[in-house]
Amino acid sequence: MQYHVDGELVPEDDATVSVLDRGFMYGDAAFETLRVYGGVPFEWDAHRDRLQYTAETLGFADAVPADLRERVDETLAANDIEEAYCKVSVSRGVQPGTLDPQPQVDPTVVVIVKPLPRGGRDGDPVWDGPATVQTVRTRQVPSEAVPADIKSHNYLNGILGRLELRRSAGDGDPADECVLRDTDGNIAEGATSNLFFVTENGLRTPSAELDLLAGVTRDIVIELARDEGFPVETGAYSLDALRNADEAFLTNSTWEIRPIGTVDGIDVGAGPMTKLLQRLYDERVETAHY
């Protein structure tokens, strides 16, 4: 594999960053994870805009290179990959080992890719089956402390949630995803996913006004549902609302739409709305990329 590091394609073994890079030292970096279908990044503008927003929030708005899309294309071509996971990262770069950011920024920019199955109507999901989901004690960090609507390298909150899953499983297999709640007890999101559930009144998902990252895939699913005339509500929901749902699923760029099989051991599963949204999502990918 070859990766793009600071404007150059380098072999995987040489794709390294300095130990003094602030992304490594403090998580002082922005990133985006996206899918590539048929050699073209899916929803590139939305991902690029969110990366820019994160960089602006962190105070290095000018660090995102204007030719970032070209770097992604070069990385895909160098590895002869058209169906891929792609991660782009921009850190504040190498600075003296103190917490205070320096005003001058020499950013570190990295693009990595790895192959995934084909998407669209004739594609295969990257997941093996419906997700097992489990509630954890780890709470979502309030946006008053760390903004939840940015995608930074600081993912300790999600990591702690996933570690809880591992510890609670003992010698068994851990759940596929955790449910993080905010400090008021409302369901927020998974460690790397957004949550949706279906009731007799329509589609429900936690509001972006809560402490969560409103994903690009989440936005597409809401748009698809509304285009079909389905009632869509965003709000603050209890854990019981998810456990008692008629259907539930997770979304992110890699999983796309993944049904939830169980929540804390309670059967939920897919249903007609989940399956229809999966089909509509596949059709959107197919039309745009194949």
DSSP line for 96-107: -SSSSPPSS-B-
Dist CA 136 CA 20 (whole Å)? 34
Q: Which domains does the chain have, with CATH numbers?
A: 2-115 (3.30.470.10), 131-289 (3.20.10.10)
pLDDT tens by residue, the chain, 290 residues: 999 999 999 999 999 999 999 999 999 999 999 999 999 999 999 999 999 999 999 999 999 999 999 999 999 999 999 999 999 999 999 998 899 999 999 999 999 999 999 999 999 999 999 999 999 999 999 999 999 999 999 999 999 999 999 999 999 999 999 999 999 999 999 999 999 999 999 999 999 999 999 999 999 999 999 999 999 999 999 999 999 999 999 999 999 999 999 999 999 999 999 999 999 999 999 999 99
pLDDT, residue 40, reads: 98
**In contact, 188 and 140? CB cutoff 8 Å:** yes
**In contact, 32 and 151? CB cutoff 8 Å:** yes
DSSP line for 186-247: -EEE-SS-EEEEEETTEEEEE-TTSSS---HHHHHHHHHHHHTT--EEEE---HHHHHT-SE
pLDDT, residue 97, reads: 80
pTM above 0.75, yes or no: yes
pLDDT, residue 247, reads: 98
Residue 154 three-state SS: coil
Phi, psi for residue 218 in degrees, rounded to 5: -55, -45
Dist CA 28 CA 31 (whole Å)? 10
